[in-house]
Amino acid sequence: MARETAARRAPGGDRSGGRDPVRRRRCRGAHRPGCAPDLDAPARRGGAAPPRRGLNAVEIGPEAQEALIAALRRVAAAEILPRFRRLGAGDLDTKSGPDDLVTVADRAAEAAIAEAVRAILPGAEVVGEEAVAADPALLDRIAAAEVCAIVDPVDGTANFAHGLATFGVILAVAVRGRTVLGVLYDPIGDDWIVAGRGQGAWFGRPGAPPRRLTGPTPAQPEAARVYLPLSLYRAEDRPAVARTMAGLGHVAALRCSCHEYRQLALGHAHALVTPMLKPWDHAAGVLVVEECGGAACLADGGGYGPTRHAGHMAVAGDAATARALLARLPAR
């Protein structure tokens, strides 16, 4: 196949003659890769198509990507933002422990996103963080499904619940267990980063042309800006992790994977390290960084994918930086 131009390959770019799992819709004005989806347009005209088998990465094309981004924006406007800093006493609950929070916004947004995804990608499975909290067996669908959307409806729930604006919405689409699309959406800024496998990573916002991202640059650990969540490590490992943190250039934790990956993609940080591999936290972000030219490395030498649910991972501008960070941390 002839090499496509960057504009044709960008998420949201034109693919003349291609087929989408949604009917074709046009953005307002000239069609551009990653242009702002029309929030007033229905997700599908003429009703949902019957379920299809064999949906692949090529068919999750620009119109479907625009429809998915538009759905995230609509859901955030309807279910998330009206509740920000307005949660009532009965709107907050816990799941696995006192620090594992869930709000009415998480549950309402996940239900609405799942409904939209099923209309845009007929036949796709949907695996959401809150659904898995109720039924952990749903995780198996990521590997078993032909097409699976992985949803974190409010990433950074603790921040959201405590009135901090560092939260986002994460959507990944996996085909036969491999991530092919990732979206990191910021409801506060109403902007997003979208990556399609082999299409690069792009920053988009309403009324502006998309901007291709080149991601984090390689850095020596002593000079690196690293996101490293000490609280996620086992208690017995934390002293060793803390000693490692003291030898790094700058260490922080946003408590929001969406914004940590966005910061990497935008070039404002060099790496992130995590001892937990929840797919709704990492599937989209790893694809975004990889499409920027970066790398994700696991301490055991394996590769990352959304079916990998345990391990110690570093994501950085290059594999050497990621491996150097992992080498300094205690084995898990």
Q: Write the DSSP assignment of 183-225 as a string of letters.
A: EEEETTTTEEEEEETTTEEEEE-TTS--EE---PPP--GGG-E
Across 232-238, average pLDDT:
95
Tell me the one-letter amino acid at 253. A
pLDDT bin (cut points 50, 70, 90) of residue 123 is very high
Is the pLDDT confidence value at 41 over 50? no
pLDDT band at 331 (very low <50, low <70, confident <90, very high): confident
Q: With 60 as the cut, is the pLDDT of residue 31 above it?
A: no
- Average of pLDDT values for 278-289? 99
In the predicted model, is pLDDT for residue 193 greater than 90?
yes
What integer pLDDT is reported at residue 98 of this predicted model? 81
Looking at residues 309-319, what average pLDDT do you find?
96
d(CA 39, CA 83): 20
Say what the pTM is: 0.85
Mean pLDDT of the region 237-244: 95
* Whole-Å CA distances, 230 to 275, 319, 322: 9, 22, 17
CA pair distance 78, 226, nearest whole angstrom: 34
Do you know the residue count of the chain? 332
What CATH number belongs to 221-328?
A: 3.40.190.80
Query: Which alpha helices (DSSP H) does 100-202 contain, by range?
Result: 104-120, 129-134, 140-144, 157-161
Tokens of 246: 């003291």
Give the whole-angstrom CA distance, residue 243 versus residue 13.
46
SS3 for 169? strand
d(CA 317, CA 182): 18
CA 103, distance to chain mean position in Å, is 20
Tens-place pLDDT, residues 124-145? 999 999 999 999 999 999 999 9
Give me the architecture of the 6-43+55-212 domain, per CATH: 2-Layer Sandwich (3.30)
pLDDT for residue 71: 99
Kindly state the percentage of the chain with pLDDT values over 70.
Answer: 82
Beta strands in the chain (DSSP E): 92-94, 101-103, 125-128, 147-155, 168-175, 178-186, 191-196, 200-204, 211-212, 225-227, 250-252, 271-276, 295-298, 310-316
User: pLDDT digit string (tens) for 59-77?
Assistant: 578 999 999 999 999 999 9
Domain residue extents for the chain: 6-43+55-212, 221-328
Mean local confidence (pLDDT), 315-331: 94
To the nearest whole number, what is the mean pLDDT of the chain?
Answer: 86
Question: CA 255 to CA 10: how far, in whole Å?
Answer: 29
Relative orientation angle of helices 62-75 and 104-120, to the nearest 10 degrees: 160
Cα(285)–Cα(25) distance, integer angstroms = 27
The CA radius of gyration of the chain, in Å to the nearest whole number, is 19
